[in-house]
């Protein structure tokens, strides 16, 4: 069943401060809310703390270097102080992560079939046919071949775009409620980037999966995000519907981002996207 509209139900609510030993806080009381089934863009310049926020949500910060304080409520369960054993049942199954460099994220020594099997078995138990069906469904969802020849390939034998699709297939194998895409298109060429952005939106609609799309590129979020949150100097300075942020930015930093956009006919979200966002609300 295709999910066409987003819910107003809060899926994740975070209020976080993150300190690194001997340094100024990277995040200062950052408040972020993700609704069920929506695509939320998190925008900020390099070094603004976007990835730190993602790692804090997932409990992946190095505990000997970073200290996270506050709250991360996911489906009304507090994640921030959850024991590691319990967090592992959340990561990959209920919240998945796709990183920037697919060829670095995939194991170069293992075939794609092996890596997908490991991704499935990390969060599921069942017969071999169940695993095979999950692999087939995931690869089909991201428009990748499902034949034996493709599954026998190593990451180095495929394009960067294909490798990124494999990562996404692994991330959605258990149909998570939330996918965090951390600069997931920044290593791709323009055409492949557009294809992956379109894929994210299709997955969002087809399985109702919420997406936190993290990027430093404001223009890349215009076509897929329902809302945008702007991260600057360790805090969220502005958050709102995509068309509102583009049409009427309120914060000075957001206005500077808009002024820095290429003036080659870019007008923000297309009318179709604006209409969809309005209908979703």
Strand partners, 78: 73
**pLDDT, the chain, mean:** 87
First to last CA, the chain: 20
Tell me the pairing of strands 66-74 and 39-43. Answer: unpaired
99 or 8: which leads in pLDDT: 99
pTM, to two decimals: 0.88
- Its sign, for the CA torsion 134, 136, 141, 145, is positive
pLDDT at residue 115, as a whole number: 95
Strand partners, 236: 231
The structure tokens listed for 276 are: 């969809």
DSSP 44: -
Alpha carbon distance 44, 216 (integer Å) = 5
The structure tokens listed for 167 are: 């990562």
Contact 250, 256 (CB under 8 A): no
Say yes or no to pLDDT of 268 above 90.
Answer: no
Tell me the pairing of strands 178-182 and 10-20. Answer: unpaired
DSSP output for 98-147: E-S-HHHHS-TTS-HHHHHHHHHHTT----HHHHHHHHHHHHHHTT---S
Q: Is 10-94+177-280 a CATH 3.40.47.10 domain?
A: no
257 alpha-carbon distance from chain centroid: 21
Tokens 């945008």 locate to 228
Q: How far is CA 196 from CA 85, 129, 172, in A?
A: 32, 29, 14
pLDDT at residue 123, as a whole number: 86
The 10 Å Cβ neighbour count of residue 222 is 23
Say yes or no to pLDDT of 4 above 80.
Answer: no
- Compute the residue count for the chain: 281
Chain segment 181-240, per-residue pLDDT in tens? 998 888 788 888 889 999 999 999 998 999 999 998 887 888 899 999 999 989 999 999
Of the pLDDT bands very low, low, confident and very high (cuts 50, 70, 90), residue 140 is very high
The structure tokens listed for 139 are: 């690869």
Say yes or no to pLDDT of 5 above 60.
Answer: no
Query: What are the boundaries of each domain within the chain?
Result: 10-94+177-280, 109-173
Of the pLDDT bands very low, low, confident and very high (cuts 50, 70, 90), residue 165 is very high
């Amino acid at each position: 069943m295709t999910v066409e509209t987003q819910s107003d139900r809060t899926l994740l609510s975070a209020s976080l401060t993150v300190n690194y030993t001997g340094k100024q806080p990277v995040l200062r009381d950052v408040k972020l809310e993700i609704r069920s089934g929506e695509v939320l863009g998190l925008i900020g310049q390099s070094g603004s703390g976007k990835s730190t926020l993602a790692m804090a949500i997932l409990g992946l910060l190095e505990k000997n270097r970073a200290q996270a304080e506050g709250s991360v409520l996911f489906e009304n369960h507090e994640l921030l102080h959850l024991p590691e054993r319990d967090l592992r049942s959340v990561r990959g199954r209920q919240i998945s992560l796709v990183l920037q460099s697919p060829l670095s994220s995939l194991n170069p020594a293992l075939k794609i079939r092996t890596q997908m099997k490991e991704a499935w078995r990390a969060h599921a138990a069942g017969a071999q046919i169940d695993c095979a069906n999950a692999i087939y469904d995931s690869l089909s969802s991201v428009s990748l071949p499902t034949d034996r020849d493709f599954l026998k390939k190593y990451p180095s034998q495929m394009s960067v775009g294909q490798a990124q699709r494999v990562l996404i297939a692994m991330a959605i194998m258990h149909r998570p409620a939330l996918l965090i895409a951390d600069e997931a298109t920044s290593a791709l060429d323009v055409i492949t980037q557009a294809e992956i952005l379109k894929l994210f939106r299709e997955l969002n609609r087809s399985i109702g999966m919420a997406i936190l799309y993290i990027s430093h590129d404001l223009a890349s979020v215009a076509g897929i995000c329902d809302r945008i949150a702007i991260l600057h100097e360790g805090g969220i300075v502005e958050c709102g519907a995509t068309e509102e942020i583009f049409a009427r930015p309120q914060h000075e930093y957001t206005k500077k981002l808009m002024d820095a956009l290429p003036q080659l006919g870019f007008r923000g979200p297309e009318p179709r996207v604006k209409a969809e966002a309005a209908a979703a609300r």
